[in-house]
């Protein structure tokens, strides 16, 4: 009988002990595999989030806050320098204006209410219906917000209302369009009895409605979205920009891009980012990754200790057998190889159980860790307008959008993970059994026989 055959058969000499060892090893390997799966899934999600959430830099003319501030607009030439910065993937540009009865036939769908009346009064806007002290009812009709943009579907960059763009009918114009076309919010379109194909007047020019959208909130649904170049030309603001959103390849590069943009634009612009807020939001996932890593290390160490102690116990029980083997000419290497074969046999059986447990438990354990973490995550509030608008829109996305990102984590067990886990288990078994049998294999047969 050769060494390998004898090692495999010896693994089943004590069936109760063999069963117990296999079950314990299976649990240890299964937990290791589940933690490895969770660690990789969360790590991949962190990478994805860093490349898509919180990776924007907001640029506005210095002093601008919607139509409540001052300052001078930025220009296409200034932002062209920002576009050339390393790690900048794209720049969304927009120009905001107001459509009133003096430059458009559109009527706002928003009722001014007491807040609108107060804001208008405090800003010095003239009212219809008599003077302030004339005793007549003063009325104020809010203007319609017009946004010229290169990213018509990105409502976080097209206006203070934010929201999620959903095209109800029609089509979306291209980012480089120069046509006299527009997308209308659903409330504004309904108020003015407009549909796809209808026209309205702005700046003395006929504008065709090519699409109707729903943003999910009242303010954005009262907006007009047009091509940036068209608004610049019709409003007499050629080359002007009132806000820009710089998309960076990763959140880790946001701070450096912010500093670079500030240097390029100087005092002409206010440059902000939501990197700190995004980092706080990513922190729960990083905690999960740390927990899964420590659990993985703990499970691997536990499996190694189980193998080592098991083989020490088995080897010490077979001192007489080792002495006999050496007395008939077996070398230290053959004795060690026999016990290594026995340990590998037990480990392979345990690995089969462990892999099955890891595959079954990987996704549930990951979901459990994520749910426990995301339940403690809160989303900051936001306020729209100018620089604050873009930062607020980013923060709003962290509340719902980021939690949706958390819930969308799916841990999958690929063949590479299984092979890594299996290889690690075999290595641990070989090393553990080799250490245990190395010292016993060095004893002399005569000493073993005398002790027995």
Q: What is the pLDDT of residues 213-254, one digit of tens each?
A: 999 888 889 999 999 999 999 999 999 999 899 988 887 888
Q: Can you tell me the distance from the alpha carbon of 397 to that of 278, in angstroms, rounded to the nearest whole number?
A: 10
What distances in angstroms separate CA 357 from CA 159, 292, 341, one per listed residue? 50, 16, 24
**pLDDT the model gives residue 135:** 44
**pLDDT the model gives residue 277:** 62
Give the residue, 442 or 315, on which the prediction is more confident. 315
Q: Can you tell me the distance from the alpha carbon of 56 to that of 254, in angstroms, rounded to the nearest whole number?
A: 7
Confidence grade of residue 383 (pLDDT, cut at 50, 70, 90): very low
Q: Where are the domains of the chain?
A: 3-51+281-451, 56-108+143-273
**Among 353, 189, 366, residue whose Cα is nearest residue 288:** 366
Confidence grade of residue 191 (pLDDT, cut at 50, 70, 90): very high
In tens, the pLDDT along 314-332 reads: 777 777 777 777 777 777 7
Q: Which of 36-45, 228-237, 432-441 has the highest mean pLDDT?
A: 228-237
Provide, rounded to the nearest whole percent, the portion of the chain with pLDDT above 90: 27
140 is written with which tokens?
A: 């104020």
In tens, the pLDDT along 44-95 reads: 777 776 665 668 888 988 877 655 556 789 999 999 999 999 999 999 999 9
Query: Residue 122, class by beta-carbon neighbours within 10 Å (0-12 exposed, 13-18 middle, 19+ buried)?
Result: exposed
């Amino acid at each position: 009988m050769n060494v390998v055959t004898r090692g495999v058969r010896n693994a089943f000499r004590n069936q109760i002990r063999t069963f117990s060892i296999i079950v314990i090893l299976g649990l240890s390997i299964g937990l290791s595999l589940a933690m490895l799966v969770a660690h990789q899934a969360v790590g991949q999600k962190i990478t994805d989030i860093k490349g898509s959430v919180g990776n924007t830099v907001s640029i506005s003319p210095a002093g601008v806050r919607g139509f409540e501030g001052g300052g001078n607009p930025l220009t296409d030439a200034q932002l062209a320098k920002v576009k050339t910065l390393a790690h900048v993937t794209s720049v969304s540009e927009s120009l905001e204006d107001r459509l009133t009865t003096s430059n458009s036939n559109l009527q706002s769908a928003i009722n001014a209410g007491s807040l609108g009346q107060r804001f208008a009064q405090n800003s010095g806007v003239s009212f219809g219906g008599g003077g302030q002290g004339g005793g007549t009812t003063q009325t104020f009709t809010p203007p319609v917000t017009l946004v010229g943009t290169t990213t018509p579907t990105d409502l976080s960059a097209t206006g203070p209302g934010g929201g999620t763009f959903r095209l109800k009918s029609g089509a979306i114009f291209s980012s480089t369009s120069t046509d006299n076309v527009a997308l209308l919010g659903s409330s504004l379109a309904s108020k003015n009895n407009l549909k796809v194909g209808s026209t309205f007047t702005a700046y003395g020019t006929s504008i065709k409605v090519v699409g109707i959208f729903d943003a999910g909130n009242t303010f954005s649904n009262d907006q007009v979205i047009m091509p940036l170049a068209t608004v610049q030309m019709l409003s007499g603001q050629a080359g002007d920009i009132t806000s820009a959103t710089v998309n960076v390849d990763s959140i880790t590069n946001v701070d450096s891009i912010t500093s670079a943009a500030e240097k390029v634009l100087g005092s002409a612009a206010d440059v902000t980012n939501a990197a700190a807020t995004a980092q706080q939001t990513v922190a729960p996932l990083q905690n999960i990754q740390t927990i899964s890593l420590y659990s993985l290390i703990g499970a691997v160490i536990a499996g190694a200790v189980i193998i080592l102690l098991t083989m020490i116990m088995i080897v010490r029980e077979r001192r007489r057998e080792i002495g006999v083997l050496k007395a008939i000419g077996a070398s230290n290497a053959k004795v060690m190889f026999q016990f290594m074969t026995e340990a590998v046999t037990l480990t392979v059986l345990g690995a089969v159980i462990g892999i099955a447990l890891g595959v079954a438990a990987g996704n549930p354990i990951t979901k459990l860790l994520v749910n426990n973490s995301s339940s403690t995550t809160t989303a900051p509030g936001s306020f729209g307008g100018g620089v604050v608008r873009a930062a607020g829109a980013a923060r709003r996305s962290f509340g719902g959008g980021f939690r949706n990102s958390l819930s969308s984590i799916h841990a999958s067990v690929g063949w590479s993970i299984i092979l890594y886990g299996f290889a690690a288990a075999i290595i641990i078994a070989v090393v553990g059994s080799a250490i245990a049998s190395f010292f016993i294999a060095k004893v002399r047969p005569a000493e073993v026989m005398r002790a027995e």
